[in-house]
Structure 1
Amino acid sequence: MPTVVNSSLTYEILMYLNSFYFGMFAICELGMNCVKAAKLESPCLGRMHLEFALLLFLIATEGGRIYLGRKGNLTEHGLPILLGIVLSVPSSLATLYFLFWQCRVLRLEMILCSIQLVVLASELIISIMCLIAFYRPPSPEE
């Protein structure tokens, strides 16, 4: 008997785990930004306001993405999942900024941002599989 992987269950597990991981990620990133603001020299201080604003933007978009993804998955509606997919683009770009383009990147930030990007990519793939499963016509009973 072939086993069928339930993509919505996998998506729900990923979203549930990401809600906790992203909370830890945001707190660590906020702490590291505070430490960098206190310890850095003047050329990077001008960009610290931008980095704090970008972190708040990332918290808002990732929180909305997680909420919409879980809501769409539990109600089996495609529109919230589709909006979550759209929100994954700015969320991944902000994470890439913290990984590559900020003034000083700590090794811990590199590790945390890399894990966040892997989780984002896997959720994106599974969410597309969920959309396909939700909108696929039911197979006729034999």
Structure 2
Amino acid sequence: MEKMSKVTNVNSSLAYEILLYLNSFYLGMFIVCEVAMGILKAINVSYPENALLTEAGIFSALCFVEMIRIFLGRRGNLASKKIPVFLSVLLTIPSAVGVCYFLIYQTYILRLEYIWCAVMLMFHALEFAFAILFIFTVCKNQQFD
């Protein structure tokens, strides 16, 4: 029984680490592409008053929260600490809300942005699931013989 618990812990930890690692690269690509699309839209499309600044502020906050979320998730996973991973799970909520804003409520949405945001939400969902598995396996009562 103890061997099965260790296998589950290792599998959820490994999958969670792989997802965080891939998401760190995807976040860099997402930021570059969204900034490029924002510049393209700012040049070619007329925005209502202060809409461009509002979207830029929301995007900056999203990037900041997402970087902290990934950092805490990786730090907690590698050290097998539940508190940083739990904080990372909590930060998934505002991060997913920010991505949903760019997916649905943005002033002008391009088709390519739908794809980028959908992939980001997929990362959030998978990381959320594996983080919960990781937290449950780390929080299990340890029995010492």
Shared fold per TM-score greater than 0.5: yes
Listed one character per residue, the Cα deviations across residues 36-60 of structure 1 (whole Å, up to 9, x for unaligned) are: 11111243x5311011111110110
- Answer yes or no: is the 8 Å Cα contact 1:69–1:81 preserved in 2: yes
RMSD: 1.8
* Inter-CA distance 30–42: structure 2 relative to 1 (3 Å threshold): closer
Partner of 1:20: 25
Structure 1: runs of 5+ lacking an equivalent: none
Q: Give the aligned length.
A: 140
Q: Secondary structure at the match of 2:50?
A: helix
Letter in 2 for 1:34: I
Matched residue, 1:39? 44
* 1:7 is the counterpart of 2:8: no
Which residue identity lines up with residue 9 of structure 1 in the other structure?
L
TM score, norm. by length of structure 1? 0.92
| Structure 2 residue matching 1:53: 3-state secondary structure | helix
Separation in structure 2 between the aligned mates of residue 130 and residue 106 of structure 1, nearest angstrom = 36
Gaps of 5+ in 2: none
Q: What residue is the counterpart of 2:58 in the other structure?
A: 54
Stretches of 4+ moved more than 4 A in 1? none
Amino acid of the structure 2 residue aligned with 1:24? M
The structural deviation recorded for 1:138 is 3.3
Deviations 1:90-142 (A, max 9, x none): 1000000000000010000000000000010100000000000101123677x
Alignment of 1:85-100 (within 5 A): 85-100=89-104
User: Hey, what's the Cα distance between the residues in 1 that align with 2:37 and 2:94?
Assistant: 21
- How far apart, in 2, do the equivalents of 1:121 and 1:72 lie? 18
Letter of the structure 2 residue corresponding to residue 60 of structure 1: F
Percent of aligned positions that are identical: 39
Distance 2:47 2:55 in 1: 15
